[in-house]
Amino acid sequence: MPIIRAFIWVMILKIHPSVGFPPDALTGSAAFTKHHAEITRGAIRIAVGRYIKDNNLTLIDDTTDVFDAVKTLFGNDSDGYEKFIEKETDIIENVKDQEKSKEAYIHCNSEQIELAHNHVIKLRKQIAVLAQSTEPDLSLIRKMIGKCIYTIQAFYSGSNWVEMNGDSVYKDFETNDNFDQGKCGFGGSTDTENGFRTAKGGINKDRLDYTYSPHHHLHYKAFYSARKATEQFLIDQDDTGSIGDEIEEVRKACIDIITNVFGTPNAPSNYILVTFNDPVKHMHRLTTSNGLEMISALGNITVDGGFDCPEYAMSGLEKAIELCQEQSTIFFYTDAPAKDEAERDTVINAAEEKHIDLQLFVHNETCGPLRKKRATERTKRDVEPHVYSQVAEGTGGAIYRFNTSLLGELMIQISEEIFPSATAIVDTFELRDGETNQISFPVDSMLNNVKITVIGATSAADVDIESPLGSIMTAVTTSVYFKSPDKVVVSVLYPTTGIYKLLRTGNNYWYANITAQTSVDFHYLMTEEAEDGYFYRISGKPIVGEQYRIYLTVYDLPVGMDASGVRLETNDSPTNNLDITEVAGDFGTTYFVSTTLSSDVVMYFI
pLDDT in tens, 182-197: 343 444 545 444 444 4
Q: Is residue 301 part of a domain?
A: yes
Rounded CA-CA distance 133/130 in Å is 5
pLDDT at 138: 86
318 lies in the same domain as 410: yes
Rounded CA-CA distance 417/595 in Å is 36
Mean pLDDT of 512-529: 82
Could you give the number of structural domains in the chain? 4
Q: What is the mean pLDDT of the chain?
A: 77
Report which secondary-structure segment, H or E, holds 225.
Answer: helix 219-236
Rounded CA-CA distance 582/6 in Å is 50
Coil/strand/helix, residue 283? strand
Higher pLDDT, 169 or 186: 169
Closest to 360 (Cα-Cα) out of 320, 323, 420, 322: 320
Q: Are 483 and 259 in contact (CB under 8 A)?
A: no
pLDDT at 45: 92
272 lies in the same domain as 362: yes
**pLDDT grade, residue 36 (50/70/90)?**
very high
Q: Is residue 1 part of a domain?
A: no
Least trusted range by pLDDT, from 156-160, 246-250, 449-453, 533-537: 246-250
207 lies in the same domain as 250: no
Q: Is residue 198 part of a domain?
A: yes
Domain boundary among 477, 495, 518: 518
Q: Is residue 28 part of a domain?
A: no
CATH number of the domain within which 479 lies: 2.60.120.380
462 lies in the same domain as 374: no
Higher pLDDT, 9 or 295: 295
281 lies in the same domain as 403: yes
Q: Is residue 31 part of a domain?
A: no
376 lies in the same domain as 451: no
> Residue 10: pLDDT above 60?
no
pLDDT at 314: 92
Q: Which region holds residue 54: left if phi is over 0, alpha if psi is between -120 and 50, else beta?
A: alpha
pLDDT at 475: 81
**pLDDT grade, residue 461 (50/70/90)?**
confident
**pLDDT grade, residue 234 (50/70/90)?**
confident
64 lies in the same domain as 163: yes
Closest to 123 (Cα-Cα) out of 153, 145, 142, 154: 145
DSSP secondary structure of 435-494: S-SEEEEEE-TT-EEEEEEEES-SSGGGEEEEETTEE-TTSTTEEEEEETTTEEEEEESS
Q: Are 274 and 285 in contact (CB under 8 A)?
A: yes
**pLDDT grade, residue 366 (50/70/90)?**
low
DSSP state letter for 181: G
Q: Which region holds residue 498: left if phi is over 0, alpha if psi is between -120 and 50, else beta?
A: left
146 lies in the same domain as 197: yes
Q: Are strands 398-402 and 423-431 parallel, antiparallel or unpaired?
A: unpaired
184 lies in the same domain as 56: yes
pLDDT at 361: 85
Q: Is residue 19 part of a domain?
A: no
Mean pLDDT of 360-374: 56
DSSP state letter for 558: P
pLDDT at 239: 43
pLDDT at 184: 37
For 533-584, how does the pLDDT look when each residue is reduced to its tens digit (9 = 90+)?
Answer: 888 888 778 888 888 888 888 877 777 777 888 877 766 666 678 888 888 6
Q: Is residue 18 part of a domain?
A: no
428 lies in the same domain as 406: no
**Helix and strand numbers, DSSP H then E, in the chain:** 14, 24
**pLDDT grade, residue 289 (50/70/90)?**
confident
Q: Is residue 24 part of a domain?
A: no
For 570-584, how does the pLDDT look when each residue is reduced to its tens digit (9 = 90+)?
Answer: 666 666 788 888 886
> Residue 96: pLDDT above 90?
yes
Domain boundary among 471, 493, 518: 518
First to last CA, the chain: 66
What domain range includes position 539? 521-603
Q: Are 26 and 534 in contact (CB under 8 A)?
A: no
Higher pLDDT, 187 or 90: 90
Mean pLDDT of 111-135: 83
Domain boundary among 400, 417, 434: 417
Mean pLDDT of 435-458: 85
Least trusted range by pLDDT, from 191-200, 267-276, 416-425, 436-445: 191-200
Within a 10 A sphere around the Cβ of 489, how many other Cβ atoms?
A: 24
User: Strand pairing partners for 431?
Assistant: 510
339 lies in the same domain as 408: yes
50 lies in the same domain as 69: yes
CATH number of the domain within which 357 lies: 3.40.50.410
Rounded CA-CA distance 258/483 in Å is 14
